[in-house]
Amino acid sequence: MRPLGDYNESLPDDNPYEGKLYDSEKPVFPYNLNEMYIKNDAGIMRSTPFGNNLLADFAKKAIEKEELGKDDITDFLTVSFSSTDYIGHVLGPRSMELQDTYLRLDETIADFLNYLDETVGKDNYLLFLTADHACAENANHLKDHKYDVKNIPSKEIFKSLKDFSVANFGENIVLDYSNFNIYFNKELIKSKTLDLVKIKLDFKKFLMTQEQVKRVYSEEEILSSNGNDYYLNLIANGYDMSQNGDLVILDKPGYIEYGVTGTSHGTPYAYDTHVPLLFYGWKIKSGKSFDKKSISQISPTLAFKLKIGLPNGTESEVLEEVLVDEWKI
């Protein structure tokens, strides 16, 4: 989009921390999208900035056809610009491709705001912008800059768990390992009359010998969390007994369970959880805040702003800066 010299927040266009997009020979500009499409399908759009453009076009069409903002009843439209996610995973946070994507997304959002001004009216809509997560630095990039970290492929972790299980319990009792969660084969454990409590303890001791592991929490510890352990509290907030594992691993900062290129997310550290939160438009005053906020505060804040009932699962913590005018009688 811009001259190479403008990409001052990126590493060189061809660096060892980038993956390759759809059979591309190298992770460098220019990309031949026609060739990528022929070899694959239209799904390549999601890993280009133009996936965001297409989504914005769909959003405009939805506003037009559903006549959003044309009466006094509140309409709610959500738009998830996800091309940044796909590009970031493959090419990493310091790739020229990702910076280019954000430069283009900035113009896409500006165009969308102009569209809202023209069709709904500048003071007739309330907009908030945030993200579901941030991302980690590529671990090998950090390692090459003297950080004592590395990437660990999930398959490698799963294999070590199975090997430990066979060596200590005679066979593999690990059903699955996914997203830091370890799932045990409860039926097999029961049939072998093994002690699940002892199994969890033995696996915890083993995992704590692994260089990347900071802590390991059992289901019982997570469910009895009292909020005093910062990391445990974050894990507990997202834990579901019917879906999560018997043990949950917390890696040390900087380590990443991913391949050698690109990046991922999923830890409670600031580089994964610090995201923007911008409010703009209807009854929003200019200002800024440096207080720590939570994404879960958005929904109850909107509910108070619109004077409607609170969501069922909310803790009812609000963003008072956004509601400053609502307190006036």
Which residues lie closer than 8 Å to 39 by C-beta, 6 or more apart? 22, 23
Contact 149/143 with Cβ under 8 angstroms?
A: yes
Average pLDDT score over residue span 219-247: 94
Q: Report how far residue 128's alpha carbon sits from residue 277's, in angstroms, rounded to the nearest whole number.
A: 7
Average pLDDT score over residue span 159-179: 97
Average pLDDT score over residue span 32-39: 92
Average pLDDT score over residue span 261-269: 95
DSSP assigned state of 327: G
Q: What is the CATH number of the domain that holds 237?
A: 3.30.1360.150
- pLDDT cut 90: percent of the chain above it: 93
Identify whether residues 11 and 137 lie together within a single domain: yes
For residue 223, which phi and psi values (nearest 5 degrees)?
-70, -20
Which two tokens mark 119? Answer: 């069709």
Identify whether residues 24 and 118 lie together within a single domain: yes
Identify whether residues 176 and 30 lie together within a single domain: no
For residue 151, which phi and psi values (nearest 5 degrees)?
-90, 145
326 pLDDT tier (thresholds 50, 70, 90): low
Domain assignment present for residue 227? The answer is: yes
Q: Residues 278-296: pLDDT tens digits?
A: 999 999 999 999 999 999 9
Contact 64/120 with Cβ under 8 angstroms?
A: no
The pLDDT score that the predictor gives to residue 236 is 95
Q: What's the whole-number average pLDDT of the chain?
A: 94
Average pLDDT score over residue span 83-108: 97
> How many domains does the structure of the chain reveal?
2
Q: Is the peptide bond before 30 cis (omega within 30 degrees of 0)?
A: yes
324 pLDDT tier (thresholds 50, 70, 90): confident
Q: 3-state class of 186 per DSSP?
A: helix
DSSP assigned state of 151: B
Q: Report how far residue 50's alpha carbon sits from residue 39's, in angstroms, rounded to the nearest whole number.
A: 18
Identify whether residues 135 and 174 lie together within a single domain: no
Q: Residues 111-155: pLDDT tens digits?
A: 999 999 999 999 899 999 999 999 999 999 999 999 999 999 999
- 300 CB-side CA count, 13 A: 14
pLDDT score of 311 more than 80: yes
Q: Which amino acid is at 116?
A: L
Q: Residues 185-222: pLDDT tens digits?
A: 999 999 999 999 999 999 999 999 999 999 999 999 99
Which residues lie closer than 8 Å to 142 by C-beta, 6 or more apart? 149, 254
pLDDT score of 329 more than 80: no
327 pLDDT tier (thresholds 50, 70, 90): low
By residue range, what is the domain housing residue 219? 154-251
The pLDDT score that the predictor gives to residue 227 is 83
Identify whether residues 133 and 15 lie together within a single domain: yes
Q: Report how far residue 26's alpha carbon sits from residue 23's, in angstroms, rounded to the nearest whole number.
A: 9
Q: Report how far residue 82's alpha carbon sits from residue 327's, in angstroms, rounded to the nearest whole number.
A: 36
Annotate 28-90 with three-state secondary structure. Answer: CCCCCHHHHHHHCCHHHHHHCCHHHHHHHHHHHHHHHHCCCCCCCCCCCCCCCCCHHHHHHHH
